[in-house]
Structure 1
């Protein structure tokens, strides 16, 4: 994995279209890149490192063609080297393939191909595909049939795009890994919905070609596409499949930096708008009602959340919302759920995934469906695999998020989960106390963004040995998320804890070089207990940063204070979170880290 782009029908602009597409996919994370062009001529150029290095290599190599594929690789099989970069070729150099996913039977296939005389140049699982195609071509198969037969031998997850020398066509197939087709503009500049006009694009994600078209077709598992002067999509049985053309609503300008130094900072500052989009049309404050049409008339008696990473922290938050409403609920790491699923009973299973393509979460949802559970996904991506496979979908409406470290989508997930509980299981009394806080949330968050002193706090502690984050109830998932954000983009050690757990072991690690960020809202028993935890770490000489609404006396014991407005405790979690996002960003910036391209990480993890 990680990013695929392909196009036909762009003429002399094919190469630049591919490279632009790869640049638009940089946010997904990668460690090498490459392109292949075919048609009248055939050639491949690929390098380890960033796309700037690919551009430099292309400047020394003459590539042209009317059909092409490109790839940004995030290493799974073999380190990031020129040889392991995609596209991969066969022995004759007449086939080029790019691939996302993992081919589980690649070693068996590779052994058979090696015994048959094929020579491999990389350590990747992907390289078996062009050699399989080569064998089929050698036996007399036409290019499309050769690709089909090769794909039929694969086990595992894949999104594959292939070109063959002398053929002005691009072939693509998917299974458990996303692929979307872009339908280009006709001569009049309107969207070609009759599928008889080009150009056409194929990509792992829409931003790769959004500059050129907003018309898209989502491939399903087992489907195969041929893109040339027309577009043909067929099923696993080879029969044509009618596909609906959908329109992407967001503007390509939304994926730019808009003057910010980093996508992450831009997206942190976009959160008030993202929250308004999430809440718009769903909340009637006068009637004290919430209506989320896409989830139907759900009335869950129990809920199992499945998610990974940041989305798992949202799942923990959502689980607490339902528990507080009297509905048994539990959050599971999707990778653990899929390998050893707990009893389902009549529980609703909710998969939280920003991209709608997270492999572990999809696997958990499929396991749940196989066992008869009703499923719902909370996602940001219309048309994603999760939305197509689940019974219901709750969209967070955050708009495109380019930064690898999730920010505005986490806020959107928490807001959407509030809507979910309010619309399904909570009574009018609870709704009347929460809805006004949700209404005020975008403005409260803008106030935090406008007045935060996180930059000064980050500057003082950027070189600390370690960072601890503590919180209780709704603030506990935020503490976990704050630590994750700091780890992701600063590469510094950070840990999040339920505040009461510090004294059960982690307190041994506390020194004057481990700042503790304590999340304290309100002035009830929970706040007072957290203040007690602040005193515990202060007694061990740890500097304390209180993230608080000022209702408790937490500031009295803190070295620094990051303020948030007073609000409902559920909404306060989103406000303390934005302060921690800013801390993580400014620590990483002080340390000179590549904030939008953290090492070893990818935006959409489509392998298990």
Structure 2
């Protein structure tokens, strides 16, 4: 799970090119921040500088702006093989130092390849799987192959998912390969870039060429060549498109953090998502038709996307449809057939567990639909019907505006599928805006929860997936242990942990209010500090209930309740993190896009 960038330019000075590489690495740092490195190629040498730590630490330690060359590679790492260290940081080189490699992914057969290469006399410096690529290319070049042929032979020797960039001394090209992990080309005047995502390149260009799975090729300052693993050449011009996402999303723009900024952009993300859904009638109609004709609808996701999918599945189940929510990594125990439809939900479109699940179900004959927030991603490519939210780039590791826009898109899809009038969604943007106006209450609650070590999030009906999402957010951002349950299940074990001052957050979307009130009484009787997040109904108006704090957001239609709840639970987690003095944009041990199993 890493960010990679390659740039070939004939116009920029060496210093400008080095500085541009650093800036793009800053934008890619959400993909990993264990270590950072760069390689530059001048006429007579390849230079590598790298270091453990953040981009800023790398800049201070290694002064990359003094590197020379017209071709640069960059890498920001989230460790999978070998602990974070200067040596294990990318780029990696061969024995001669004439080949440099950056890589995102996992090489499954690296131990076998490494042992074989060691027997052939190669010396390895790192613990990583990536280094075998450099030595494989070196090996094939020694056998007399030209650079591109040696690169292709090396790629075809490795197993596993990857995005790889390579430079070879004296060759003005950057060689690349992609299997399941993200990689896109950016086209500019006198310059070509290749990166893990398109928005990292937007300061230079928004002209993008997506690379599909099992394709390799090369770029230079003015050339772009793509070839399928099977040998078929690709017309790159036919893929060229202009991305319309604003590059301004790559800065704080005066906000406290990316997460804070992105929560406050949620209403815009919802507006643009629904506008797009309502405008793209042909593809939406195909999606609705496919879902309506299915015997069963599997809804696949991981983490936050699973919670959005669970909400969608529950809506369908309540209406009598057979809808099965599936945690992506557990897809093996759910068998789909050609009579079924599978909706795969992923913010990035590159989540490895979800990608593997989609391929598995597709191989069994099921029709694959997807909902992602990026164009030209791997899951979309694997789908029969690819739908997109329009939340824009999200830099904070925790999903905020992307989750809220997923909820909006899934409300739209489910209402269409169930034959409901979607007029109520015209109030979606205002609903989210109303929720954002409750940030003061979120600050108070988050500051209170900041003092706690444990918490419960409880809900009923559609409140259950929102409770799951609330507990996930405060765990990943504020490092507070939180568990979520259907409120009725709290009596069957969890209540044993409740004592005086134990915080219990109730999600009240207006369903089963009487039962939820009883659960509040049960927790209060054990000394719990009860917090209620309500839509329309204020439970604390009942004087029999002991409630420490209640926040209520008004909605014009109860179906909008999840949209009103999403920013509130996100903001509570954000303010808890801020209270604890931790960085909400970069929670420990996590990365934005999970591209490993």
Could you say which residue in structure 1 is the equivalent of 2:252?
Answer: 257
- 1:390 partnered with 2:394: no
- Which of 514, 519, 528 aligns to 1:533? It is 519
Kept in 2: contact 1:520–1:527 (CA 8 A):
yes
Q: Which runs of 5+ in 2 are unaligned?
A: none
Alignment counterpart, residue 473 of structure 2, candidates 485, 493, 515:
485
- Residue 60 (structure 1) shift: 7.9
Q: After TM superposition, give the deviation of residue 238 of structure 1 in Å.
A: 3.5
Aligned equivalent of 1:411: 404
Q: Tell me the distance in 2 between the aligned counterparts of 1:129 and 1:291.
A: 41
- Residue 600 (structure 1) aligned with residue 589 (structure 2): yes
1:222 correspondence with 2:214: yes
Is the contact between residue 8 and residue 200 of structure 1 (CA under 8 Å) also seen in structure 2?
yes
Q: Residues 296 and 559 of structure 1: is their aligned pair in 2 closer, same or farther, counting only changes over 3 Å?
A: closer
Deviates more, 1:472-481 or 1:437-446: 437-446
Instruction: Identify which of 349, 358, 380 aligns with 1:356.
Output: 349
C-alpha displacement at 1:550, in angstroms?
4.6
- Give the distance between the partners of 2:355 and 2:283, measured in 1 at CA: 26
- Is 2:8 the partner of 1:20? no
Aligned pairs (5 A) from 1:174-253? 174-185=178-189, 198-228=190-220, 229-243=222-236, 244-253=239-248
563-572 or 453-462, larger mean C-alpha shift: 563-572
Query: Which string of whole-angstrom CA distances, capped at 9 and with x for unpartnered residues, describes residues 242-275 of structure 1?
Result: 1210110112112221210111111111111111
Q: Which residue of 1 aligns with 2:49?
A: 45
| TM-superposed deviation, 1:294 | 6.1
**What SS class does the counterpart of residue 297 from structure 1 fall into?**
helix
8 Å CA contact 2:34–2:79 kept in 1: the answer is: yes
Check whether the contact 1:31–1:50 (CA below 8 A) recurs between aligned residues: yes
Does 2:533 correspond to 1:551? no
Change (3 A) 1:201 1:565: same
Q: Does 1:307 align with 2:301?
A: yes
SS state at 1:518 partner: strand
Please name the residue that 1:517 is paired with.
505
* Partner SS, residue 292 of structure 1: helix
Aligned residues: 583
**Does 2:550 match 1:561?**
yes
- Give yes or no for the alignment of 1:441 onto 2:434: no
Distance 2:286 2:260 in 1: 31
Q: CA deviation at 1:468?
A: 1.0
- Mapped to 2, the partners of 1:583 and 1:290 lie a distance apart of 39
Unmatched 5+ stretches in structure 1:
186-197
Q: Aligned pair 1:144/2:139, yes or no?
A: no
Deviates more, 1:149-158 or 1:543-552: 543-552
Report deviation, 1:84.
0.9
Alignment match, 1:458: 446
Structure 2 match to 1:587: 576
Encode CA deviations 1:475-501: one digit per residue, 9 max, x unaligned. Answer: 100000001111111111111111111
Partner of 1:193: none
- TM value normalised by structure 1: 0.92
Shift of 1:342: 2.4
Report if the CA contact (8 A) 1:294-1:394 is conserved.
no
Distance 1:169 1:115 in 2: 30
Task: Note the C-alpha offset of 1:446.
Answer: 1.0
1:268-279 equivalence runs, <5 A: 268-279=263-274
- In 2: Cα distance, 1:164 partner to 1:181 partner: 19
1:78 aligns with 2:72: no
> What's the RMSD between the two structures over aligned residues?
1.9
Instruction: Give the secondary structure class of the aligned counterpart of 2:321.
Output: coil
